[in-house]
Homo-oligomer: A and B are copies of this chain.
Amino acid sequence: MQQTISKKAIVRLSIYRRYLRSLIRQGESHVYSHELAARTGYTSSQVRRDLMGANAEGSASKGYKIKDLIHKLDEFLDGDEPAKVVLFGAGKLGKAILQFFLNHQRSLQLVAAFDNDLEKTDRVICGVHCYHIDQAKEIIPNLEATLAIITAPDAAIPQLSSIISESGIRGVLNFAPAPMALDSRIDEQHIDITSELQALACLSRSR
């Protein structure tokens, strides 16, 4: 079933769920697709299609029951076991991203960090052991990690591409300045903050 849903749809489902949780905190019990649409910036029909893809159904008169909808989305998005994540680059950015975003994500579990700086290795970082990067190809399959977060500098990317291709990683969230050269089996999301900042600066001048 999950085979047929796109990554963009999964991102939207995650956004809907976050909004639904805030509605629960406000004491709401039901929500219409057009309300979800208005808050999240998508169309009502898009919202209904996405929720149908996650096996959730609403009624035309009352909309969706929020608690049931969150339960369906939890089942669909989180699965039974958390996905195991490794961090490449145990510097300030990596640690800040983990603390800010990975905590309280029940669907993700950090299992190891890697760095090439001997001052960072063989320590505990964000609750996990930080190994030297040269140990990664051996350790990642043993830990059954399938996801990687990359906050390493440009120069590390060729070595990381090789490690990731050979260690069973299936998804990468990459904050490094350049995208990686990965084979198509591996899903890479490159978060290109440098270019986003650049674009903002350029657009702000042209307005």
Q: Which residues of A does B touch, CB under 8 Å?
A: 2-3, 5, 7, 10-11, 14-15, 18-19, 22, 41, 76-79, 82-83, 85, 91-93, 95-97, 99-102, 105, 107-108, 146-147, 149, 151, 154, 170-173, 175, 177-179, 185, 187, 189, 191-207
Which B residue sits closest to A177, measured CB to CB? B18
On chain B, the residues within 8 Å of A201 by CB distance are 77-79, 82-83, 105, 107-108, 147, 171
A14 to B178, CA, bound (A): 11
On chain B, the residues within 8 Å of A99 by CB distance are 92-93
On chain B, the residues within 8 Å of A203 by CB distance are 2, 7, 10, 170-171, 187
On chain B, the residues within 8 Å of A185 by CB distance are 207
Closest beta carbon of chain B to A201's beta carbon, Å: 4
Q: Establish whether residues A198 and B92, one from each chain, have CB atoms under 8 Å apart when the complex forms.
A: no
A91 to B170, CA, bound (A): 31
Q: Establish whether residues B204 and A171, one from each chain, have CB atoms under 8 Å apart when the complex forms.
A: yes
Q: Establish whether residues B102 and A199, one from each chain, have CB atoms under 8 Å apart when the complex forms.
A: no
On chain B, the residues within 8 Å of A172 by CB distance are 200
On chain B, the residues within 8 Å of A154 by CB distance are 22
Number of copies: 2
On chain B, the residues within 8 Å of A147 by CB distance are 200-201, 204
Q: Establish whether residues B105 and A197, one from each chain, have CB atoms under 8 Å apart when the complex forms.
A: yes
Q: Establish whether residues B96 and A195, one from each chain, have CB atoms under 8 Å apart when the complex forms.
A: no
Q: Establish whether residues A204 and B146, one from each chain, have CB atoms under 8 Å apart when the complex forms.
A: yes
On chain B, the residues within 8 Å of A85 by CB distance are 197
A177 to B103, CA, bound (A): 13
Q: Which 3 A-B residue pairings sit nearest by Cβ, starting from the closest?
A: A2-B206, A171-B200, A83-B201
Q: Establish whether residues A11 and B82, one from each chain, have CB atoms under 8 Å apart when the complex forms.
A: no
Q: Establish whether residues A10 and B198, one from each chain, have CB atoms under 8 Å apart when the complex forms.
A: yes
A130 to B192, CA, bound (A): 26
Q: Establish whether residues A197 and B173, one from each chain, have CB atoms under 8 Å apart when the complex forms.
A: yes
A101 to B196, CA, bound (A): 10
